[in-house]
Amino acid sequence: MKRKLIRICIVVISVVTLFGGELNARGHQHLVQKGDTLWGLSRKYKVPLKSIIQANSIQPTKRLQIGEKLLIPGAPVEGIWYRVQAGDTLSGIASRHNVDWQDLQRINGISSPRALQIGTRIRIQRDDSLSFGNPLRVPLVVTSKYGYRPHPVTRRYQRHEGIDFRASTGTRVYASRAGRVIFAGRRGGYGKIVGIEHEGDFTTWYGHLSRIRVRVGQTVSKGKVIGLSGNTGISTGPHLHFEIKYKGRSENPTNHIIIP
């Protein structure tokens, strides 16, 4: 009996060590941005400085280069849930979210890449620099969803290519992801609007602003304040209109950001 218990304990310890070690070794991949330091990353992710240095085989005095990728061992990997839609393929989903399709298959236990069922939820894990964040820091309240709807002003049934969030005039609006500003000004019914171009053929758009705090050509980091919400353009009240486009075509923002 004792020998059997010892063998069981050895197996359990081996399994825990194997999988625990794998998770710690993977960690989180951070894309270095302007102002980043090793000490700052250590505090941000609550990971010992020594662990970051060892994981990347670098010197403590190393000067970080913008765009460089660092492994943050033990830090959680940011991710979202994506619901499979008609026409989706695993490689297509992976391409749009800048991840490897084989990782998607492994993480979600998909037996065959061609066996995707409409409505199935897929976990997408990716590094923080390539993910989209919420454009507001206040509790997110959706006042108008993505998709076809009667326009609140014209009453015409038409496609709503983004999501409207409740936001009083003057609420800070943040860049959902790092990128380059490609538009900052007035555009028809959108009123004052900012457009940002991101890696991977994505753009984000922030409409009905009261003030714009960026200029065309400016590079912005994720979480940078780009303007203040408002009621400009064709609008029935203060709010933020938020769009995500892939290769010029709108996508449901809920496929990319988490709305509590």
pTM of the model: 0.58
For helices 38-45 and 49-56, the axis angle rounded to 10 degrees is: 120
Considering its fold, how many domains does the chain have in total?
A: 2
> Which of residues 110 and 18 earns the better pLDDT score?
110
What band does 16 get if pLDDT is binned at 50, 70 and 90? Answer: very low
Domain final residue pick, 108, 130, 152: 130
What band does 192 get if pLDDT is binned at 50, 70 and 90? Answer: very high
Partners of 219 in beta bridges:
180
> Does residue 63 register a pLDDT over 90?
no
Q: Are residues 125 and 167 in the same domain?
A: no
List, for residues 203-217, the tens digit of each pLDDT value. Answer: 999 999 999 999 999
Q: Are residues 155 and 244 in the same domain?
A: yes
Q: Are residues 237 and 155 in the same domain?
A: yes
* Full residue range of the structural domain in which residue 117 is found: 79-130
The half-sphere exposure of 84 on its side-chain side, counting CA atoms within 13 A, is 21
> Does residue 6 register a pLDDT over 70?
no
CATH code of residue 110: 3.10.350.10
Q: Which of 8-12, 127-131, 203-207 has the highest mean predicted lDDT (pLDDT)?
A: 203-207
- Which residues touch 113 (CB under 8 Å, ≥6 apart)? 89, 90, 91, 101, 105
Q: Are residues 149 and 120 in the same domain?
A: no
CATH code of residue 219: 2.70.70.10
